[in-house]
Chain A
């Protein structure tokens, strides 16, 4: 029975890894850049949107100057993470606290299209300010990411 449970756990964790490694984001942005499976209801002038949900690892609670890892994560965003993304050209639409999960921060970004997203993230990752910020607030998170294009009838595009 123990072996069985263990095997199942391993099964889950390799799924998780496969999922994380799958990451190359799909085409994103205006209808003209999408395959016909996705483009039918998308605006010709849509930007590329991304919703990212970060759940802070509670093992980090009490780390650094923070009782709660989620507070430390919010502080990282507040202090500089957003500013670094903006410096590299992303628009930050909003940052939220999930009210049903106290450990989850949700944020939303917009880029011109997928090529612009790649450009923003390459610059972000290579930025020494980000390296320093991550060292200051090393909160492990699990990320749930959604890529979206705006519909032709959307208020936000």
Chain B
């Protein structure tokens, strides 16, 4: 029995270490113009593509946040200042949407010049006292799903 326990613990630790290693090893994929992308990933990408991101935020009702938090509060945070702060730091804000399948999901889209620009924008955003204050005012716990994309050579928007 002790042997089994040790084994289970070892396996659990092993998995844990593996996933940590995985998380740390995995730098975000390049994003933006064709020339920035590795090999086949760039096959259908425009030479002048920017880096696009679709972010889906779902309110985590079991989480802890500002009293009375809900999807309306999250939308208000965006409406009031979150978008303006991102624009101040150089992102292009393309649109913000309400998911029609989950009332608790907000979906929004941004564009950056490329991956390096994305990192610059986010570092600027996260370090901005206006963001800290806004988050304190409207702390809505969310789960995030994000997709990063480059535009194809035949896309209207690039």
A binds B: yes
CB A40 to nearest CB in B, in angstroms, measures 6
Please, which residue of chain A has its CB at the minimum distance from the CB of B26?
Answer: A100
Query: A53–B42 Cα gap in the complex (Å)?
Result: 18
Contact B37 A99 (CB under 8 A): yes
Q: A97-B45, A99-B148, A100-B147 are in contact. Are A68 and B40 (CB under 8 A)?
A: yes
Rounded to whole angstroms, the CA-CA distance of A96 and B72 in the bound complex is: 30
A12 interfacial contact with B, CB 8 Å: no
The B interface, classified by DSSP as helix, strand, loop or mixed, is mixed
Bound-state Cα–Cα, A96 to B52, Å:
9
Q: How far does the alpha carbon of A82 sit from the alpha carbon of B94 in the complex, in Å?
A: 21
Are A38 and B98 in contact, with the CB atoms below 8 A? yes
Q: Which residues in chain B, 24-65, are within 8 Å of chain A measured between CB atoms?
A: 28-31, 37, 40-45, 51-52, 54, 56
Asked if A148 lies at the interface with its beta carbon under 8 angstroms from chain B, I say: yes
Q: Is A155 an interface residue (CB 8 A)?
A: yes
Given A147-B99, A149-B100, decide whether A41 and B75 contact each other with a Cβ distance below 8 A: yes
* Of listed B29, B42, B45, B109, residue having the most chain A CB within 10 A: B109
Provide the B76-87 mask, 1 if CB < 8 A to any CB of A, else 0: 001100010000
Q: Which residue of A lies closest to B44 (CB)?
A: A74
Task: Give chain B nearest CB distance to A112 CB in angstroms.
Answer: 15
How many A-B residue pairs have C-beta atoms within 8 angstroms? Tell me. 132
A42 contacts the other chain (CB 8 A): yes
Report chain A residues within 8 Å CB of B71: 41
Question: What is the predominant secondary structure among interface residues of chain A facing chain B?
Answer: mixed
Tell whether, in the assembled complex, residue B44 and residue A99 are in contact, meaning their CB atoms are under 8 Å apart: no
Task: Give the CA-CA distance A98 to B30 in the complex, in Å.
Answer: 11
- Residue of A34, A53, A98, A153 touching B148 (CB-CB under 8 A): A98
Name B124-158 residues within 8 Å CB distance of A.
147-158
Establish whether residues B103 and A68, one from each chain, have CB atoms under 8 Å apart when the complex forms.
no
Q: Decide: A151 and B98 in contact? CB cutoff 8 A.
A: yes
Scan B100-115; emit 1 where CB is below 8 A from any A CB, else 0. 1101001101000000
Interface-centre pick from B75, B95, B154 (highest chain A CB count, 10 A): B95
Contact of A148 among B30, B42, B100 (CB under 8 A): B100
Question: Which residue of A27, A51, A147, A154 contacts B54 across the interface (Cβ within 8 Å)?
Answer: A51
Is A95 a contact of B155 with CB atoms below 8 Å?
A: yes
Give the distance to chain B from A50, nearest Cβ to Cβ, in Å: 10
Inside 8 A of B51's CB, which chain A residues have their CB?
Answer: 99
What is the distance, in angstroms, from B55's C-beta to the closest C-beta of chain A?
12
Q: Are B153 and A94 within 8 A (Cβ)?
A: no
Closest-by-CB residue of B relative to A79 is: B154
Kindly state the separation between the CA atoms of A80 and B38 in the bound complex, as whole angstroms.
27
> Can you add 14 more A-B contacts, CB < 8 Å, to A96-B149, A100-B147, A102-B40?
A37-B103, A38-B103, A41-B71, A51-B107, A71-B44, A95-B154, A99-B30, A146-B56, A146-B99, A148-B100, A151-B98, A153-B83, A155-B94, A157-B95
Which 4 interchain pairs have the tightest Cβ spacing? A96-B149, A156-B95, A148-B97, A94-B157
